[in-house]
Structures are given as structure tokens and as C-alpha cells.
Amino acid sequence: MRVFDGKLLIGGNWVSSISGLCEEVKSPYNGEVVGIAAVANVEDIDMAISAAEEGFAIWRRTPAHQRAAIMMKAAALADERIEEIAQIISSENGKSLLEARGEAGRCGEIIRLGAFEGSQLYGDSLPLDANKGTGQEKIGFTLRQPVGVVVAISPFNYPALLVMHKLSPALSSGNSVVLKPAQSTPLTALALAQCFVDAGLPAGVLNVVTGSGTQLGDALVRDSRVRKISFTGSTAVGTRITQLAGVKKLSLELGASSPVIVMDDADLELAARAVSIGGYINAGQVCISVQRVIVHEKIKRDFLDALKPLVEKINVGDPKADGTEVGTLINERETNRVVASIRNAVDQGAVLITGGEKNGNIITPAIVSEVDPSSNIAQEELFGPAVVVSTTDSLKQALHIANSTPYGLGSGIFTREVNSAIQAAREIDSGVVHVNWTPLWRADLMPYGGFKASGIGKEGVRSAIEEMTEVKTVILHGQSWQ
């Protein structure tokens, strides 16, 4: 039994939920019970927010170098525990151990980035005497300070990475946090919280509540003691949060249907290799997964001929088995939804080139061609291991198709023509545009966030710290001297 099994982290202690209820966390691969999580209710939420207020009172007055020292210890512990955390990720999420180890391996580095950026909260000095009528008797400057209690709500698909992209910037810049991880993947978040507890984070600075987002979400986002909500998840839930939150800061990292344009002058071998990775990692359950390929009609046949064998080579299966590259989807409901979406597209005239077979919660990597860009499988977020292909006869039309969904998170273009690359970089409405790679690439330090229905605000440690801090203007009013 781990210290956090069946517990919430509130006020520095691992405690049972007020109701005493717990639930089993099960493997999406074989249904085995892999841990136990406490089921919080709104009273637990109230206690967690109170504890976070008390934690904030201490943490905001803790010098940045002391905060950074604790963050560095937490980072070292996250590094030491990579294998333990990877095993938990793979068990509860169903992704391959190969992918889980990569994800767990980034946590320490994200905390170190936070430790640095959180010690760089510079302000500006203000040239007040440039204001007509003001002399040199006044001095003005800005201070950057933490917002206060941050509610962090995270999804199932990257249970470590996306938790870290909230905890690291929030804690390093002096905020306290109430974290609500996805109900299907709570154990990874608890194991990561343990690193901060063991590193000596003061009581109440980090609180973790587990349970159902539907049950707990409203209480978390409505509470006026909360000054910032950092949410990653679906556009539907993000929209609800905007309606309930009231006056507080919001960062919303939401859904997508990411496009990749392959022009007739592209390096086809490179484009095929990149799509065979970017469409299928984590069984396509990535917000920046390649969903739509818009390929120039002149090279469509060659592109598909290059892509198909690469996709068929992807080793899917038991997440914990040696050699497995891609594991399961998160649960049966999601697996059935993705399979049905592929079937519907085929019923409407699309052509299934490969894959799309269901085996438990595994779906074999699929390519669906001849897809109408206005059809559901292109317009709605698929969040599964399939890439849908449609054609274009010009860059102008390709850009139009790329921008034709409600979303705008990541995008890519393959071309050797610099003008096409520049035009795409300027014209695609997405938060990140990749030239000669797909959207499925992220450095943890870069600004990262969506346009349109893909969200509000930016993550990436430095950007997230900007969004989790306030700028205060201070004016010292002196008297004029002779």
C-alpha cells in the first residue's frame, strides 16, 4: 500500500475523504485493479481551498531562492522515481511503458524550469516624469506577484506531463494549488505530489483532491477564494468553466482537430515518417495529434504508399510488454466512439486504407482516405489512432481547409518552398505552426496554447508563470526638492 492510496492531500496530510468513500482505479488494458483513489465531495473541496489559502499565506512570503531550493529537491525526487511513476502511468492510462517512461522522464526537467523561471519575476521601472505635469519627485515601478489559490484540473491523456505543466509554474511563482486530476488517472498525480511533500513544501501549498469532475467541478471553479483556474481538457468542459468561473483568471487548454498540409514539393519520406509518429503516439489521444492530412493531389498516391507500411509497422498491444509502442485507449466508451466514427466516415464514402480494428481497448492504427473535410470525422476531435486524408490542388485551398474547423491548437506544413512555409506560418489560425514536422512536438519551455475553440492563454513554464502572476504598479510620491 502506498502512502497516497485512497487518500487526499489536504493541508500537508494524506487524509481520507470526509465520506470515507474510495474507488478502484483499473487498467484499461486488462481491467486489473491498479490502485485505490479517495472519492472527494464538495466538503473536501471546501477544506482543500481553505488549506490552500493558509498555504498561500506562508508561500507568498517565502523568498524565491527558498522556493527554488524546494523545487530543485522535488525535481531530484521526480528523477529518482521515474521508473515508479512510469509504471503507474502505464498501469492506469494504458499507454506503453516506452511512452510512459518518456513522459515521467520530463517531470524533473519541468520542475527545474519552474525553479528558474519562478526566480525571475522581474518588474519594470516607469518613466513617470514623461507624464505631462509630473516631476522627478515620484518613482514608479511594477512588481510581479503570485495570484493566490490556483485550481488545476487535468485530463487523463498525459497524467504526469499536464499535471507538471500546472504545478511547476504555479508553485515556483509562489501560488498555492488545489489539483483535481482526471478520475481515471489519479495515481500519477498523487505520486508526483508526494515528491513535493518529501521535498519539504510547506503544508497547504499543494492540495490534491480526487473524484469525479462532474461532481466536484462546479464547487472548484465557482469558489471566490480561487483566483485562477488552469484547466486542460475538452472544449465542452472548458466552455462550462467559462460560464461558471466569475471574475478570475482562466487558462483553458482544450480540444483540437490538428491539420498537416503536405505540398507537392514536400520531402515525402519525411512527411510520411512524421505523420506515422504524430498521428498515433498515445493511441492518438493527444491534443496535438495529427488528425487531418491535407495532401496535394499530385502526390497523394505516393504519400499514401509511403505512409501505409510505416503505420502498419507500429507495434500495438499490451502496454507493459517489451517492444509495445502504442497501448490502449482510456476505456471502452472511448474505444467504441472512435471505431464508430471511423465506420461512419466509411459509410459516408471515405476509404479505410488500413487499421481501425478493435481488440479490447486497442484499435489498430488507421488511415482513412477520401475524407470530405466538412464531414464529422474531420471537423470533430477524434482523439484516437487514425489519420484522415483529403486532397487539395493549391496552397490557398489547403490553408482554407486547415482553418475550416472550430479548433486551432497545432498545425504543420511539409514543403521545400520557403514562401509556402511563410504563408502557412502567417495564415494558419493555430497556436503553434510547425514547418517540416507535424504538430506533435513540444518543448516544455515554449509557449503552447490554442486559438478559437482550442482555448485561452498559454502554457509552457515561462508563459504559464505570466498567467499565474499579477502585475502590481507601485508609485512612491515624494515632495519636490530645491
In the bound complex, which residue of the shown chain has the CB atom lying closest to ligand NAP? 217
Q: Calculate the dihedral angle through the C-alpha atoms of 213, 53, 229, 248, rounding to the nearest 10 degrees.
A: 130
For residue 316, the 8-state DSSP code is B
Residue 231 CA to residue 237 CA, distance in Å, equals 9
| Candidate ranges 49-57, 249-257, 272-280, 298-306; the one touching ligand NAP (CB under 6 A) | 249-257
Least separation in angstroms between CB 64 and ligand NAP: 27
Say whether 419 sits in a helix, a strand or coil.
helix
Grid coordinates in use for 316?
A: 500495438
**What's the half-sphere exposure (Cβ side, CA atoms, 13 Å) at 118?**
31
What is the residue-wise DSSP string for 296-308? EGGGHHHHHHHHH
Toward ligand NAP, which CB reaches closer, 237 or 350?
A: 237
| Candidate ranges 150-158, 292-300, 359-367, 473-481; the one touching ligand NAP (CB under 6 A) | 150-158
- Which of 295, 314, 316, 317 lies closest to 304, judged by CA? 295
Q: Strand pairing of 258-262 and 206-208?
A: unpaired
Toward ligand NAP, which CB reaches closer, 138 or 240?
A: 240
What is the residue-wise DSSP string for 140-151? EEEEEEE-SEEE
Cβ atoms of 428 and 396 closer than 8 Å: no
Active site residue 24: no
Q: Which residues are paired to 250 by β-bridges?
A: 229
Q: Calculate the dihedral angle through the C-alpha atoms of 217, 218, 219, 220, rounding to the nearest 10 degrees.
A: 50
Chosen residue from 287, 299, 316, 388 binding ligand NAP by CB under 6 A: 287
Least separation in angstroms between CB 245 and ligand NAP: 10
| Candidate ranges 1-9, 78-86, 152-160, 385-393; the one touching ligand NAP (CB under 6 A) | 152-160
Cβ atoms of 230 and 151 closer than 8 Å: yes
Question: Judged by CB under 6 A, does residue 411 bind ligand NAP?
Answer: no
Toward ligand NAP, which CB reaches closer, 329 or 424?
A: 329
Question: Judged by CB under 6 A, does residue 226 bind ligand NAP?
Answer: no
Least separation in angstroms between CB 273 and ligand NAP: 24
Toward ligand NAP, which CB reaches closer, 234 or 404?
A: 234
Chosen residue from 381, 391, 432, 444 binding ligand NAP by CB under 6 A: 381
| Candidate ranges 73-81, 208-216, 261-269, 342-350; the one touching ligand NAP (CB under 6 A) | 208-216
Cβ atoms of 475 and 128 closer than 8 Å: yes
Grid coordinates in use for 87?
A: 509504471
Which residue has 517565502 as its cell numbers? 62
Chosen residue from 232, 354, 364, 369 binding ligand NAP by CB under 6 A: 232
Catalytic, out of 92, 103, 287, 467: 287
Other CB atoms within 10 A of residue 419 CB: 9
Question: Judged by CB under 6 A, does residue 384 bind ligand NAP?
Answer: no
| Candidate ranges 65-73, 98-106, 180-188, 417-425; the one touching ligand NAP (CB under 6 A) | 180-188
Least separation in angstroms between CB 315 and ligand NAP: 24
Chosen residue from 66, 120, 136, 212 binding ligand NAP by CB under 6 A: 212
Active site residue 22: no
Grid coordinates in use for 57?
A: 499565506
For the chain, how many residues are written? 482
Least separation in angstroms between CB 153 and ligand NAP: 5
Question: Judged by CB under 6 A, does residue 409 bind ligand NAP?
Answer: yes
Grid coordinates in use for 467?
A: 498567467
Residue 360 CA to residue 328 CA, distance in Å, equals 8
- Which of 27, 26, 36, 34 lies closest to 5, judged by CA? 36
Toward ligand NAP, which CB reaches closer, 286 or 389?
A: 286
Question: Judged by CB under 6 A, does residue 193 bind ligand NAP?
Answer: no
Q: Strand pairing of 206-208 and 362-363?
A: unpaired
Chosen residue from 156, 196, 280, 414 binding ligand NAP by CB under 6 A: 156
Touching ligand NAP, residues 250-279 (CB under 6 A)? 253-256
Question: Judged by CB under 6 A, does residue 214 bind ligand NAP?
Answer: yes
Residue 149 CA to residue 49 CA, distance in Å, equals 8
Catalytic, out of 117, 253, 334, 459: 253
Least separation in angstroms between CB 164 and ligand NAP: 13
Size of the site for ligand NAP (CB under 6 A): 33
| Residue 94, φ and ψ in degrees, nearest 5 | 90, 5
Amino acid (one-letter) located at 452 = K
Which residue has 514536400 as its cell numbers? 266
| Candidate ranges 64-72, 149-157, 421-429, 470-478; the one touching ligand NAP (CB under 6 A) | 149-157
Rounded alpha-carbon distances, angstroms, from residue 136 to 124, 127, 139? 17, 9, 7
What is the residue-wise DSSP string for 199-224? TTPPTTSEEE--S-HHHHHHHHHH-T
Chosen residue from 52, 74, 160, 182 binding ligand NAP by CB under 6 A: 182
Question: Judged by CB under 6 A, does residue 345 bind ligand NAP?
Answer: no
Chosen residue from 100, 237, 304, 428 binding ligand NAP by CB under 6 A: 237
| Candidate ranges 127-135, 234-242, 396-404, 469-477; the one touching ligand NAP (CB under 6 A) | 234-242
Residue ranges binding ligand NAP (CB under 6 A): 153-157, 162, 180-184, 212-214, 217, 221, 232-234, 237, 240-241, 253-256, 287, 381, 383, 409, 450, 454-455
**Which residues does the annotation mark as catalytic?**
253, 287
